[in-house]
Structure 1
Amino acid sequence: MQTALFDLAGHPVTLLEAALAGAALLILILLIAVLAGRRRAGEFAEDAAEERLAEVMRMQSEMAGRMNAMAELLARRQSDLVHGLSERMDMLGHRIGQSMTEQARSAHADLSRLNERLAVIDTAQKNLTELSSQVVGLQAILANKQTRGAFGQARMEAIVQDGLPRGRYAFQATLSNGNRPDCVVEFPNGAPRLVIDAKFPLEGWNAIRASEGGEFMRGAEAQFRRDIGKHLKDIAERYLIPGETQDTAFMFVPSESIFSSIHERFEDVVQQAHRLRVVIVSPSLLLLSIQVIQSILRDADMRAQAHLIQNEVMKLIEDVGRLDDRVAKLQTHFGQASRDIEDILVSTRKVKSRGERIGALELAEDDAPLPAQRDLLAGE
């Protein structure tokens, strides 16, 4: 209804205005027709028709004014509508821009976190690759008997070296019977030494793990019992020497899982080790035992130094006694000096008193003292 159909004298004429103008024109034509008929009807109605025509012209003029006012109102409304739509479009564009900026920032942050996580995953993958290579290397080490023994001895030596001071242990030391255990721990005051053996029959354990159950499992377990029993007997016969070594030796198992499996599945082997006075230790138990031995050595060192501390304390007591005597003598000297000072003060007070009395005397012209003064001087 507000679409301009054509321009009239620079004013756009809308469909509503054209409809109103057509209606007005139709009314005008009808009025003219009525007036013409009336004019034909008689001359006497000409004045009335002219008045009617004048009224119609006035009405048409008012209608044109109203149409112009309506057109201006519609133009203002259209302008306000266009302005409001423009502002809303601007606000909508601004919000869309902000939303896109926030989404871009969020996407960038997500991509950054994703890159960081990918970097962490990449590092973890590299660590897993390195760990896999180390596990393969460890399997290769454990597959060889000599390298396996060296691996167990290296772990045992590392634990002992970290826990005990140098000189309190020895590796591959020769005993009086010619045997050379993997490690001996020295105790203070000539006490017998503790023997630690790092060898372990791992072939039988690997056979148990490789078996699929049934007869193979029982056969592997029986072989493992025989192997570890023989190894325990060898330790007891070779390394337990009365007076030279402790009556108990350690058999080091370089794996916590194997240690726990032995205690869970082979109780008879553990009891056999107890009867032979051989203690099966894992890395954690060996570390704990080394810490206990370190405490014992520290306590022994303190006891060995106790007589030195006692001698120093006795000398300190003698020095304190001499100091007490000298302080007593000094106190005596101070007392005598104090008494001498008091005597000196008495003498000085007397001298001062005599001087004051002498200064108070009034001598005559012949320098002869008055009787009262003679009495005073005689009294002094």
Structure 2
Amino acid sequence: MDFSDPQMQTYVMVGAVVLGVIILMLWSVLRASSRSADQVAMMAQRVDQLATGQAQLDGNMATLAQSQGQIGTLVEQRLGEVQINMHENLAKVQRGTGENLAKMQQQMADNLGAQQLKLQENLANMQLRTNQSLADLQEKLNQSLMGNAKQTATSLTQLQERLATIDKAQENITKLSGDVLSLQDILSNKQTRGAFGEIQLNDIVGKALPTDSYALQVTLSNGKRADCLIHLPNPPGPIVIDSKFPLEAYEAMLASTSEAELKAGIQMFKTSVRKHIKDISEKYVIEGETADGALMFLPSEAIYAELHAKFPDLVREGFEARVWIVSPTTCMATLNTMRAILKDARMREQAGEIRKALKNLHRDVEIVGERAGKLETHLRQAGEDVAGILTASSRASKRAHKLDNFDFEEMAPEADNVVPLAKQPGE
């Protein structure tokens, strides 16, 4: 063999490697077999230990069987004792239950008897109360029937009285209707309407002003007669109130049934009012004699409201002519203002008298003060005299008290030194 051949060298190396691998495998097998022997020895030891444990377990099982026999015997004994105790307790319970049942039956019998007695008493009382209630109800029914009869009679009497009152009211309504017709007749006549307005104005003025502050039906310097003249101081001076008003035009305006009649009535009403304002301004506003304005009295609040609501131009024209339109309500307010003006004027007129009276009053107060000072002096002197009298009286009282407490018996031994009184002739 030629070991220098590379192929041969390769075979040799491969063979060496294979041999090495086989040797390693043999070594591994030998080592594993040695380990298996050790494990077999250990398993043998474990088997011996298991055999020993089995023997001990058999002994324990025998001991356990013996203990179970003893326990069974004890359990049987205990069960017997428990059964005996249960029989005894059951007998006791039966005896106690019988006694309790007997007691309960006796108590129930007693309670039933008592309840029966109470029930009988309650029934008797209820019967009495029922009879009493029925009697009271019967009495109340009788009284109610009597009261209803009386009330019915009273109601009939009141009804008759009310019917009589209604009859009287009907008569009053009929009379009032006649009065309304009479009032309508009065207002339809110009002269009677003027008299009615004058009477209403006189009544309002008489209630608002004192009698010496106004005059009725006064003739002015121009020969015109004023319905009422209020004597106001200057300024503004005496002011005239006229109570006449053109009512015909107002009634014609209200009675219009067509648009043409309404326009004609409005035009006539405006013309009448303007003429009346002009007449008042010319007749009753006199420079140097009366105030620079006058009042036009409307005897109806409705006409006054209608005039201010629908004809404000007439009211403005009256202001421009210095003629103020008043109704009964506004006239009363105006007169109250005039009364305040009159009162203020009279107070100014009497201011001198008031000052003089105040001066005299001040002098009287000074005199009273002087006399009060003198009286104070006299009273002070009298007080001093009274104090002196009281002091002297106190001293006299003290001395009298000393004399009252003086003991004459203590001075009895000195009685010999007392000079006897001379005897009077004839003693």
TM-score normalised per structure 1: 0.60
Distance of aligned partners of 1:331 and 1:113 in 2 relative to their CA distance in 1, 3 Å threshold: closer
How far is the alpha carbon of 1:313 from its aligned partner?
Answer: 1.9
How far is the alpha carbon of 1:232 from its aligned partner?
Answer: 0.3
Residue 145 of structure 1: which of 184, 190, 202 is its match? 190
Q: Which residue of 2 aligns with 1:185?
A: 230
Distance of aligned partners of 1:256 and 1:344 in 2 relative to their CA distance in 1, 3 Å threshold: closer
Question: Does 1:204 find its partner at 2:274?
Answer: no
How far is the alpha carbon of 1:135 from its aligned partner?
Answer: 0.9
Which residues of structure 2 form unaligned runs of 5+? 1-134, 393-416, 418-427
How far is the alpha carbon of 1:150 from its aligned partner?
Answer: 1.1
Question: Does 1:156 find its partner at 2:213?
Answer: no
Range moving further from structure 2, 99-108 or 178-187:
99-108
Q: Which residue of 1 aligns with 2:324?
A: 279
Contact 2:230 2:239 (C-alpha < 8 Å) held by counterparts: yes
Q: Which residue of 2 aligns with 1:215?
A: 260
Question: Does 1:270 find its partner at 2:315?
Answer: yes
Question: Does 1:175 find its partner at 2:206?
Answer: no
- Provide the rounded CA distance (Å) in 2 between the counterparts of 1:168 and 1:176: 19
Question: Does 1:245 find its partner at 2:290?
Answer: yes
The amino acid of 1:290's aligned partner reads L
- Provide the rounded CA distance (Å) in 2 between the counterparts of 1:313 and 1:258: 52
Residue 121 of structure 1: which of 160, 166, 177 is its match? 166
Superposition RMSD in Å: 4.2
Helix, strand or coil: the match of 1:172?
strand
Q: Deviations over 1:269-326 (max 9, x none)?
A: 1111111111111112112222222232233333333332321221122223234344
Greater share of helix: 2
How far is the alpha carbon of 1:182 from its aligned partner?
Answer: 1.0
Distance of aligned partners of 1:337 and 1:117 in 2 relative to their CA distance in 1, 3 Å threshold: closer
How far is the alpha carbon of 1:91 from its aligned partner?
Answer: 12
- Percent same amino acid at aligned positions? 43
How far is the alpha carbon of 1:98 from its aligned partner?
Answer: 6.8
How far is the alpha carbon of 1:101 from its aligned partner?
Answer: 4.7
Residue 254 of structure 1: which of 285, 290, 299 is its match? 299
TM-score normalised per structure 2: 0.54
How far is the alpha carbon of 1:332 from its aligned partner?
Answer: 5.8
How far is the alpha carbon of 1:244 from its aligned partner?
Answer: 2.0
Q: Deviations over 1:3-40 (max 9, x none)?
A: xxxxxxxxxxxxxxxxxxxxxxxxxxxxxxxxxxxxxx
Q: Deviations over 1:14-68 (max 9, x none)?
A: xxxxxxxxxxxxxxxxxxxxxxxxxxxxxxxxxxxxxxxxxxxxxxxxxxxxxxx
How far is the alpha carbon of 1:167 from its aligned partner?
Answer: 2.0
Alignment of 1:230-379 (within 5 A): 230-328=275-373
Which residues of structure 1 form unaligned runs of 5+? 1-89, 348-364, 366-380
Aligned residue pairs: how many?
272
